[in-house]
Amino acid sequence: MSITITLIAQVLAFTILIWLVNKHLWGPLSAVLDARQKKIADGLAASEKGLQEQEMAQKRAEEVVNEAKRQAAEIIAKAKSRDTQMIDEAKAKAAEEAERIMVGAQAEIDQEVNRAKDGLRKQVSALAVAGASRIVGKEIDINVHKNALKDLIAQI
Amino acid sequence: MSVENSDGGGGTVAYIQHHLTNLHTGEGFWTINWDSIIISALLGAVIFWMAKKVKADLESGVPGKFQNFVEMILEFVQTQVKDSFPGHNPLIAPLALTVFLWVWLMNFMDLVPVDLLPILAEGLGVSHLKVVPTTDLNTPLAMALVVFVLTVYYNLKIKGPIGYLKMFLFHPFGKMAVPANIIMTAIEELAKPLSLGLRLFGNMFAGELVFLLIALLTLGATLSAGLLIWFPLQTVLDLAWLIFHILVITLQAFIFMVLTIVYLGMAHETDH
């Protein structure tokens, strides 16, 4: 029940035990615990990062889709305007062509009419000359009555 | 029973005295209490074995049940260190863990039936055996002394010799009462290790004594009507004290650990 040399022995024992515990129990185990803690922290950080990245990718995908939609609408609008333009052009061309054909036809008709008229005039003048010569009984010199004939033809 | 002689008070006193005597050699200061040293060393070996077992567990990568258990203790100690210790010192946590485990194991020897190991030892020819190392004043005081030395060392290291001296000169009453300060601080500093060691010793010694007193109830009793009363009473009392003592030994180990951390934490403070 008194302080003896045993105290010194126990001091030594305690010191050695502290050293042993530090080296063989605390050291390895706390290293493992720290490593585990770090691993879990890293995992959590990675998952957080993954989530963020996914969100970003989603946003980007949305943007791309929207851009595509916008472009498609633009293309459709362009195509529509081009469509009407083409129809208009075709209509104009067709009208022009029709006009041109009609004009040509008219000119031909006029020409035919004129030719027919000329033919008729000539025949009428010949008939008139022949009728007059019968009535008068003698040959009428065309050249003499040229002017009268011309007047007549012009009147027909 | 270790003492056959049961005639009157002499037998009782001899029984208790026998139980409170260490297996020792030498005289006076040079007495060596072999039982304290050997049992505490064996319990230290238990801790070392535990460390080896955990280490083997660690190498497999997957934490086993035993590793989880030790990790639990380790994290408990780490929490205490984090709560009570300012700054960082890699020695404090293993020191606290050692204190907790060792003190707990030594205290645990108190829960072994008081007569069991001494009788077994007597069968092997060992005359005395005091199985709880913490009921030997030398063991708690040795631990308190180590803590005290570490406290002084870190005081000198962190505060510097002048800072440590200033603490003695100007604390707690300021510059006007230097002599009183020296006395007060010296008492304060010395009271720390003394109370640390004596608290553990006192609690464990008293607990052991109560176990002895309970054991006395049927000491040397012969088969008689009285035994019918004393034996059940002894059993109930013993069980009650045993259950209560589980709390006490853990609490004492915990207090010793926390105070170790706190005292060393105070040594690391520089604002004195």
* pLDDT for residue A138 is more than 70: no
Q: Which two tokens stand for residue B141?
A: 């005081």
- CB-based contact B133:B40 (threshold 8 Å): yes
How many whole angstroms separate alpha carbon B133 and alpha carbon B154? 28
pLDDT at residue number A156: 66
SS3 B64: coil
Q: What's chain A's average pLDDT?
A: 88
Residue in chain B nearest A16 by alpha carbon: B44
Counting one residue from A and one from B, how many pairs have CB atoms under 8 Å apart? 118
Interface test with B, best of A2, A6, A30 (most B CBs within 10 A): A6
How many whole angstroms separate alpha carbon B136 and alpha carbon B35? 10
How many whole angstroms separate alpha carbon B210 and alpha carbon B197? 20
Q: Which two tokens stand for residue B63?
A: 């934490």
User: Which H or E run includes A68?
Assistant: helix A27-136
pLDDT at residue number B148: 93
Average pLDDT of span A84-107: 94
pLDDT at residue number A140: 65
Instruction: Point out the residue among A6, A16, A21 whose CB comes nearest to the CB of B36.
Output: A6
How many whole angstroms separate alpha carbon B146 and alpha carbon B150? 6
**Residue B75 in contact with partner chain A when CB distance is under 8 A:** yes
What sign does the dihedral B247-B40-B198-B111 (CA atoms) show?
positive
CB within 8 Å: B51 and A8: no
Average pLDDT of span A124-138: 79
Q: Please list the pLDDT of chain B residue by residue as tens digits (272 residues).
A: 333 444 445 678 888 888 888 888 888 888 888 888 999 999 999 999 998 888 887 877 778 888 889 889 999 999 999 988 888 888 899 999 999 999 999 999 999 888 888 888 888 888 888 888 999 888 999 999 999 999 999 989 888 888 888 888 887 887 888 888 889 889 998 999 999 999 999 999 999 999 998 988 877 767 777 788 888 888 999 999 999 999 999 999 999 999 999 999 988 887 64
**Residue B153 in contact with partner chain A when CB distance is under 8 A:** no
How many whole angstroms separate alpha carbon B169 and alpha carbon B183? 9
Query: Whose CA is closest to A130, among A119, A118, A145?
Result: A145
Helix residue ranges, H only, chain B: 9-19, 34-60, 65-84, 92-108, 116-123, 138-154, 160-170, 178-216, 225-267
CB within 8 Å: A30 and B93: yes
User: What is the nearest CA distance from B85 to chain A, expressed in angstroms?
Assistant: 17
Q: Which of A40-54, A110-124, B81-95, B182-196 has the highest mean pLDDT?
A: A40-54
Residue in chain A nearest B32 by alpha carbon: A6
Beta-carbon-side half-sphere exposure of residue A46 (alpha carbons within 13 Å): 6
Name the phi and psi angles at B171, rounded to 5: -120, 135
Interface test with B, best of A1, A2, A5, A14 (most B CBs within 10 A): A14
**Cis peptide upstream of residue B232 (ω within 30 degrees of 0):** no
Report how many domains make up chain A: 1
Compute CA distances B25 → B5, B30, B37, B143, whole Å. 25, 8, 12, 22
| Alpha-carbon B94 to chain mean position | 17
pLDDT at residue number A1: 59
User: What is this model's ipTM?
Assistant: 0.84
pLDDT digits (tens, 9 = 90+) for B4-33: 444 445 678 888 888 888 888 888 888 888
Query: Whose CA is closest to B149, among A104, A62, A18, A114?
Result: A18
In this prediction, residue A99 has a pLDDT band, given cuts at 50, 70 and 90, of very high
pLDDT at residue number B8: 47
Q: Which two tokens stand for residue B199?
A: 């608290």
Q: Which position has the token pair 């042993």?
A: A20
Instruction: Point out the residue among B26, B31, B54 whose CB comes nearest to the CB of A29.
Output: B54
Q: What is the pTM of this model?
A: 0.72
Residue in chain B nearest A33 by alpha carbon: B71
pLDDT at residue number B9: 54
Give the range of the structural domain holding residue A50, as residue numbers without chain letter: 3-155
Average pLDDT of span A40-48: 95
